Amino acid sequence: MSDPHRLRRRAQAIHGWLLLTPALAMLTTFAFYPTVATFWASLFSRGTRRRPTEFVGLENYQRLFDDPTFWLVAKNNLLYAGVTIPVSILLALAMALWANAKIPARSFVRTAYFTPTVLPMIAAANLWLFFYTPGFGVLDQIGALFGAASVNWLGQPETALWAVCVVTIWKEAGFFMIFYLAALQTIPPDLREAAQIEGASRLAYTRRIVLPLLMPTTLFILVNAMINSVKLIDHLFILTKGGPSDASKLILYYIWENAFAFFDAPAAAAMTVLMLAVLGALAAFQFFVIDRRTHYR
């Protein structure tokens, strides 16, 4: 004898799985399988015509840890993330607070801030190439007005990475601002007035009410910024190609070089696995620690 409740529940479970199937299939094909395949590939030696690939265990990782360029690139990427993430978020927040206030030409200000986001990264990089070019670049031209010497921002190891950071911040801040702006507009104006009546200054209102209510947005932006600090390397191809002497090289660029310029796929695979591990750890931290302390409406 079949219990109708059991049957119904089973039918529901089947429905659920059927609904999940398309997403699961896509993710498996384009995310899970490549991850596993990459990890697998990182355990084999690089095959040449004379020596076929063979299983070498963690040797590729060992090779990576012995490679000074890898450490330099990792350090570069840390600095790049450490600078671009907080600066672009703070800038986005400041711009959003300003563009949300009652100012003249508000929609112009918003559009102006958002414009860099619309440009493809390659176009933005070309634009900045024009700013940075020694001699006739905009920065040098302005510098010359004040009698400053010409600086080759992209051409010297001390400044190249910083110049790349500036482009990223310029590109991202406007994008993040849009999220903050949208979140700010969901805060009812009553709250500001209630705070005003209670005697809160603008600063106190911003600190005690606005920032906490923006926390979910900040978190979302933080995750995006973190991903971008690893993922967004298009401008390197235009601006510096990782140079001079690897001073502005980032991990993903180095992975690309290993895979497609040096044809060292196992090294690239090992680096990719390490990168995924770090990103996974960050995601877990975000999910288990920061998320718990955030107020969601």
Partner 1 sequence: MTQQPPFVTLEGVTRQWDGRGGVRDVSLAVPEGAFVSILGPSGCGKSTLLRLISGLEMPDAGRVRIGGRDVTGLPPADRGLSMVFQSYALFPHLSVRENILFGMRVRRVPRATRAHKLAEAVAMLGLEGLEGRKPAALSGGQRQRVALARAVVSGHPLCLMDEPLSNLDAKLRHSVRRDIKALQRRLGLTLVYVTHDQTEAMSLSTHVVLMRDGQVEQIATPRALYAAPVSTFAAEFIGDPPMAIVEGAALGRPGALVGLRPEHLALAPAGAAHLTGTLREVEYMGAETHLIVAHPAGRGLIVSVPGHAAWQPGQQIGLSLPEEHRVLFDAQTGRARERPAPGSRGHPAPVAPSP
Q: Which of 121, 139, 167, 195 binds partner 1 (CB under 8 A)?
A: 195
The CB-of-285 to partner 1 minimum distance in angstroms stands at 22
Stretch that binds partner 1, among 51-59, 209-217, 231-239, 264-272 (CB under 8 A): 209-217
Cα 157 to Cα 233: distance, rounded to the nearest angstrom: 18
Cα 199 to Cα 190: distance, rounded to the nearest angstrom: 14
The CB-of-182 to partner 1 minimum distance in angstroms stands at 17
* Residue among 104 and 188 whose Cβ is closer to partner 1: 188
Burial level of 285, CB count in 10 A (0-12/13-18/19+)? Answer: exposed
Cα 94 to Cα 98: distance, rounded to the nearest angstrom: 6
Stretch that binds partner 1, among 7-15, 84-92, 126-134, 199-207 (CB under 8 A): 199-207
Q: How many CA atoms lie within 13 A of 297 on its CB side?
A: 9
Stretch that binds partner 1, among 80-88, 165-173, 201-209, 275-283 (CB under 8 A): 201-209
Which is it for the CA torsion 168, 171, 175, 181, positive or negative? positive
Q: Which amino acid is at 98?
A: W
Alpha carbon of residue 284 to chain centroid: 16
Site map 146..185 versus partner 1, x via CB under 8 A = ----------------------------------------
Cα 116 to Cα 145: distance, rounded to the nearest angstrom: 27
Structure tokens at 122: 């390659």
* Residue among 141 and 186 whose Cβ is closer to partner 1: 186
3-state secondary structure of 55: strand
Per the DSSP assignment, residues forming a β-bridge with 55 are: 44
Q: Which of 197, 261, 289, 292 binds partner 1 (CB under 8 A)?
A: 197
Stretch that binds partner 1, among 30-38, 160-168, 188-196, 251-259 (CB under 8 A): 188-196
By the rule CB under 8 A, 200 interacts with partner 1 = yes
Report residue 66: phi and psi, to 5°.
-85, -5
By the rule CB under 8 A, 101 interacts with partner 1 = no
Cα 95 to Cα 112: distance, rounded to the nearest angstrom: 11
The CB-of-203 to partner 1 minimum distance in angstroms stands at 10
Cα 191 to Cα 188: distance, rounded to the nearest angstrom: 6
Q: Which of 199, 288, 289, 292 binds partner 1 (CB under 8 A)?
A: 199
Q: How long is the chain?
A: 297
The CB-of-183 to partner 1 minimum distance in angstroms stands at 13
The CB-of-218 to partner 1 minimum distance in angstroms stands at 13
* Residue among 28 and 196 whose Cβ is closer to partner 1: 196
* Residue among 191 and 277 whose Cβ is closer to partner 1: 191
Q: Which of 208, 231, 245, 263 binds partner 1 (CB under 8 A)?
A: 208
CA 231 to each of CA 80, 184, 245, 272: distance values in angstroms, whole numbers, following the listed order = 12, 28, 21, 12
By the rule CB under 8 A, 213 interacts with partner 1 = yes
Enumerate binding residues for partner 1 (CB under 8 A). Answer: 188, 190-191, 193-201, 204, 208-209, 212-213, 215, 295, 297
